[in-house]
Structure 1
């Protein structure tokens, strides 16, 4: 695969060439029809929504993404003469039970012409049919369940590879790179965690020694830990999110299953500092994870410096992907695609460099370029290990 960094160019720069600019916009949580005071090429109050967890146990992932969206919007708005775009957040708390109501709010707010999100696969399964019926485009920076692209939705797009690429890559990394032969697979029963774990199971074949399932919100994993010990596994793959993943890792290590006895491998949903916090830095050391996302520090252009300046911290998981997703929508608005119908058509034919990759979609909304990376916890920080070639 060609280097994504060499292909990437500042996505913001593309927007600058397409439109002149103005003052910086801020968050907008209001709803209602777009006012009639704006020009036809720039309606007053035009907005991009962000749909994902901003509070709740998985909020870190959503905040990372919304920061990327807001950075793209702020840079767009700062250009002289730019159509001023607002950000409307929809906090799902990562709970798919809230997704239907939130999606209906999106549809009912005529100012919102496009969505970055939904962030999670479970909420995407609920919200995307509603967006499809209303004709409002959604570009997810992180929902990876492969089945999302198989529903015939015309408004569904994502800027990263799905779990049909991550699952085989994770299995290959565990067996070929780590050399593990007895893998215990655990999922959290969510649309995302179980879906990915099932793909890993299939690709491990006879090297999978046992399965188990936990629940979101679970804190006591003693029965699972005992079963892992009894199985003789040399590695664990956990499909799920960082709150449960971190506690599971902590309890495995406290039971005497040290990193040299049992490799702990997890996924992009657990690729967050929250995993280190929940497990404790010492227990988390050496933990591994896979993600169909570019290492944030490898993003192209000035993204890393701009993000760090804006938020006082380096970009984290999916910040760059969310920036790319927002930039696609902003470039469309800059070209006068300010209705939901026109912006959807614009996204379908999009083909420009972003900060993570060349941004182009097939007829199912999947990206034209895919990569999967392995990461590890080192010195309490999550750092890139290597790109995985799953072919």
Structure 2
């Protein structure tokens, strides 16, 4: 996910001391089991839009990480871990400086994120040079796994799974005959639209684009209305999708609006307004966080004032716990944790997904699933798991 394509300016010269990561203090576990020692005073980073128009999607991910670390620290009072947040505001042009700061903090031995695809394209080369392991809970652009970045891992499926699933939903569930496809020209949106169009084929009667930060969509709305499309697939983010949908409804378009995980947040519901957003479909290459396994939902709601976990909160919780498992096992360097991820093969306590990565950092395809959610009475309600193929 997000944002616009930007060029990584120059070669960021990382100091040689970064290579291999941090070596932290060690402290005996005192369990009498002879299990060795564990690393102390280390940090797990979180990278994503914690403010701005897209924070509604990303904040639950950070909350999942916070919950995991809080639980770990309660069980390991003498050997604490902290979360280091990096607020990208969903903007790729901020990602380089933030990634450099994260790489320079040698206490950070693992990163959850970046959350969006555009910022990942900027940050990952810097993390690669600093050997800082990264697991994104939500960046879905397929090309992220083709760059040769050894530190890159993806905790969900990519748009090669989500794009066709959206198309299958449009064809098989909505049974649309005319589809309009629009994207926001971001690394995420453009790729998702391309994958969906391959499957939709002749059902696509017209395509268009919007620009980042746009708030007026008169030309696009006119094009949608004259196309005769009864379904609009919007590949992009809430920041533009919410006012676009609101203006579509104000101009009399009554068709079905469907988007990817980039609109699956509370802001899409509140900014658009319940009347206009009702019946909107969003997808996610993840299951409903509100149906997570174990005590995750109960624990999340207890910590965050009764609020249900948003999409990717359970995934982020699981990813943070993988890093914490490594730390508990005494992994004190970035290289140690990178090696730990390379052989990891366990189910997450919340999502139930078995986290096992291929050599390019992609999640084992057998673990990938895509769900559709429907805006119902002011909330995203699980609709169905979209069949593969």
Same fold (TM over 0.5): yes
Runs of 4+, deviation exceeding 2 Å: 33-45, 80-83
User: Is the CA contact 2:23–2:333 (under 8 Å) kept in the aligned structure 1?
Assistant: no
CA RMSD of aligned residues (A): 1.5
Counterpart in the other structure of 2:222: 226
User: Is the CA contact 2:278–2:375 (under 8 Å) kept in the aligned structure 1?
Assistant: yes
SS at match of 1:176: helix
Counterpart in the other structure of 1:266: 259
| Residue 305 (structure 2) pairs with residue 329 (structure 1) | no
Q: List gaps (5 residues or longer) in structure 1.
A: 1-32
- Give the whole-Å Cα distance in 1 for the aligned partners of 2:360 and 2:78: 31
Cα pair distance change 1:376/1:190, threshold 3 Å = same
- Tell me by how many angstroms 1:222 deviates: 1.3
Counterpart in the other structure of 1:23: none
> What TM-score comes out, normalization by structure 2 length?
0.89
User: Is the CA contact 1:83–1:334 (under 8 Å) kept in the aligned structure 2?
Assistant: no
| Residue 41 (structure 2) pairs with residue 45 (structure 1) | yes
- Give the whole-Å Cα distance in 2 for the aligned partners of 1:135 and 1:218: 37
Which residue of the other structure, out of 321, 331, 337, is the alignment partner of 1:343?
337
- Give the whole-Å Cα distance in 2 for the aligned partners of 1:35 and 1:211: 52
User: Is the CA contact 1:76–1:82 (under 8 Å) kept in the aligned structure 2?
Assistant: no
| Residue 138 (structure 2) pairs with residue 142 (structure 1) | yes
- Tell me by how many angstroms 1:91 deviates: 0.7
Counterpart in the other structure of 2:299: 306
- Give the whole-Å Cα distance in 2 for the aligned partners of 1:386 and 1:132: 37
> What TM-score comes out, normalization by structure 1 length?
0.88
- Give the whole-Å Cα distance in 1 for the aligned partners of 2:54 and 2:260: 14
- Tell me by how many angstroms 1:82 deviates: 6.0
- Give the whole-Å Cα distance in 2 for the aligned partners of 1:66 and 1:325: 11
Which residue of the other structure, out of 97, 107, 123, is the alignment partner of 2:103?
107
Deviations 1:332-376 (A, max 9, x none): 001111211001100111111102111111111111210000110
User: Is the CA contact 1:158–1:366 (under 8 Å) kept in the aligned structure 2?
Assistant: yes
User: Is the CA contact 2:39–2:331 (under 8 Å) kept in the aligned structure 1?
Assistant: no
- Tell me by how many angstroms 1:125 deviates: 0.6
Which residue of the other structure, out of 384, 387, 390, is the alignment partner of 2:385?
387
- Tell me by how many angstroms 1:57 deviates: 1.4
SS at match of 1:186: strand
- Tell me by how many angstroms 1:118 deviates: 0.5
Moved more, 76-85 or 242-251: 76-85
Moved more, 54-63 or 169-178: 54-63
- Tell me by how many angstroms 1:273 deviates: 1.4
Query: How many residues end up aligned between the 2 structures?
Result: 356
SS at match of 2:331: coil
SS at match of 2:75: coil
| Residue 53 (structure 2) pairs with residue 60 (structure 1) | no
